[in-house]
Structure 1
Amino acid sequence: MKAIVYKSTGSWYSVKNEEGVFCNARIKGKLKMDGITSTNPIAVGDVVLVEMENETENTLTITGIEKRSNYITRISPHNKNQHHIIASNLDQSLLFATLKDPKTSQGFIDRFLITSEAYHIPTIIVFNKSDLYGEKEKEKFAEVKSIYENIGYKVVSMSIETGDGVEEVKNIIANKTTLLSGHSGVGKSTFINTIFPELNLKTLEVSDWSGKGMHTTTFAEMFDIALGGRIIDTPGIRELGLVDIPKQELSHYFPEMRTLINDCQFNNCMHTNEKNCAVKKAVEDGTIHMDRYISYCNILDKIEEKSY
């Protein structure tokens, strides 16, 4: 039998079998995972092979896992040398961001986009809480929207408070498996509550003393959408560390740089101090936005080179 993993709580998994029935399942013994070094062998979204463990309690044993079409990871919160698979078998990801209460940094957005590019997962950026915008925020949104749309990303403005943009986002996620992500406090749980009011997911105010949202979701969890498709809610991520991306490859995950890297004089160009660099020339003439280039340089500086 096959089943899809909807939630992981550590040792037990909530899975939906081929008849559409939810059961509790667990791994018995050591599950052989080729080439996987994550802290969690099974993730939400995985298709697993199961067999009946206890008919009375309707519990299953997970005996194997189907090949993933893709997955997305983050650095493990418990061990920075290991990664943790957030979710698998995704059609797209929806990155929730806010310009106010709390403010999402452009560096965070760029790190998420790099991770999505590395794992071939299309990303839509949703700027929530547009009802809080003054003139300054409206100008900032127009600028940010222009930056990301010019390099191929879809950017949406939304206010759950007023309903503005909510239907557009619902249409984006219809009939697809979508990962919802972003800092705590940006409105993911509130958005899910507008789709599934019966869930009444816990939401918290942004903590005034830190300006950052409090964690309200502990484990990733998948929900079926009535209009077709699934969404995966993830724990609020304060920092998204990049996993296993060498410095030499970083520019490959900036779409606007990727098209130019073969035009640089040196094939190992890092786009910082080299002569005849096509990327730096594009920054100078405005083809590549300066903010994105600064983000690239900052991320480049923070990547720790591993010795293999």
Structure 2
Amino acid sequence: MKEGLVIKSTGSWYTVKTNDGEIHNCRIKGRFRMEGIRTTNPIAVGDRVNFEEDKESKVIVSIHDRKNYIIRKSSNLSKHSQIIASNVDQAFLIVTVNYPLTTTTFIDRFLAAAEAYRIPVRLIFNKIDRYRPNDMDRLDELKGIYEKIGYKCYEISAKNGTHLDIIKDALKDNINLLSGHSGVGKSTLINAIQPGLDLKTGEISEAHSQGKHTTTFSEMFELDFGGYIIDTPGIRGFGTIDMEKEEMSHFFPEIFETSQECQFNNCSHIHEPKCAVKAAVEAGEISITRYESYLGMVMEDEDSKYRI
């Protein structure tokens, strides 16, 4: 039996890298799909696994305990979930103010999911080379919202190479997850910071201002300056799962901190009197868009937990 790191997942086959650098293509035993977790991918990039080798194939027989993972509903109508990646040190959400638009709803859902699994997140605002003055104003506004609550933000142009040295320093010696909508420039950024990979990139649909899916499966790449980067398929929507409504405020740091001053310990921050969170929103101390994202997540039903 051998042990290795899953560096690529196509849904039916998994590429596993052993500690001595050998690469093996493995499949999984069917029982992984019967362990009570209704996921589209029982094994994810970042997992450490054990596999057996015979004359015909190599089969993953066990998976090590995960340090963490980030998960989403796989689609609006699906009852299954999708593990995007596991055992990551930090995640980078690539955001574009335009070309295409990334909504605050999407950002906040991603951040909440990462908070739930204790994964630090940094925000990369890409395509600043294309931004008009009103786009730059919106960028400054968003940076103000997220830096205030502790999320590190970067302004870059992956196409022109602007500020990529800062991104490299942040990635160095970590296992890093890159995520975001299709078309925000994930593959372009990876190609820029790790020359030679030549990942396929796509153009934005001018009619719909959306990106086309150029990455169809998750894959981990080793960085020559230290660490790994996980490229993921573009996400159109981010549905949250396994979050109790009563705990939702825990995943919004500024709301959780302010809630200590509410009159009631179990305050939902929706209709109770003397709610410190509502007062902070009215005073402009908590962003209205963040509060609206919180309300949306608390008040939605299970069948609609999928938002762009």
Normalising by the residue count of structure 1, what TM-score does the alignment of the two structures yield?
0.93
Residue type of the partner of 2:216? T
Residue type of the partner of 1:8? S
> How far has the Cα of 1:299 moved from its partner?
3.0
Do the aligned residues in 1 keep the contact of 2:172 with 2:226 (CA within 8 Å)?
yes
Distance in 1 of aligned mates of 2:302 and 2:63:
32
Unpaired runs of at least 5, structure 2: none
SS at match of 1:180: strand
1:65 aligned to which of 63, 84, 88: 63
Alignment of 1:93-112 (within 5 A): 93-112=91-110
SS at match of 1:263: coil
Do the aligned residues in 2 keep the contact of 1:90 with 1:178 (CA within 8 Å)?
yes
Alignment of 1:1-308 (within 5 A): 1-31=2-32, 36-54=37-55, 59-77=57-75, 80-304=78-302
Q: Is the deviation greater in 265-274 or in 11-20?
A: 265-274
> How far has the Cα of 1:78 moved from its partner?
8.2
> How far has the Cα of 1:300 moved from its partner?
2.7
Do the aligned residues in 1 keep the contact of 2:38 with 2:79 (CA within 8 Å)?
no
Normalising by the residue count of structure 2, what TM-score does the alignment of the two structures yield?
0.93
Distance in 2 of aligned mates of 1:240 and 1:249:
18
Q: Is the deviation greater in 265-274 or in 220-229?
A: 265-274
Distance in 1 of aligned mates of 2:25 and 2:136:
47
Distance verdict in 2 for CA 1:8–1:78, change over 3 Å: farther
Distance verdict in 2 for CA 1:2–1:33, change over 3 Å: farther
Per-residue CA distance 1:167-202 (angstroms, 9 max, x = gap): 111111111001100000000011111133322211
Residue type of the partner of 2:62? G
The percentage of counterpart residues that share the same residue type is 49
Do the aligned residues in 1 keep the contact of 2:76 with 2:303 (CA within 8 Å)?
no
How many residue pairs get aligned? The number is 303
Residue type of the partner of 1:173? L
> How far has the Cα of 1:31 moved from its partner?
3.6
SS at match of 2:31: coil
> How far has the Cα of 1:100 moved from its partner?
1.3
**What's the C-alpha RMSD, in Å, of the aligned pairs?**
1.9
Distance in 2 of aligned mates of 1:32 and 1:9:
16
SS at match of 1:19: coil
Do the aligned residues in 2 keep the contact of 1:33 with 1:41 (CA within 8 Å)?
no
Unpaired runs of at least 5, structure 1: none
> How far has the Cα of 1:303 moved from its partner?
4.2
Residue type of the partner of 2:18? N
Do the aligned residues in 2 keep the contact of 1:247 with 1:303 (CA within 8 Å)?
no
Per-residue CA distance 1:99-139 (angstroms, 9 max, x = gap): 11111111111111011111110000000001112221222
> How far has the Cα of 1:32 moved from its partner?
8.2
Q: Which is bigger in relative contact order (C-alpha 8 A, separation at least 6)?
A: 2
> How far has the Cα of 1:268 moved from its partner?
2.3
> How far has the Cα of 1:222 moved from its partner?
0.7
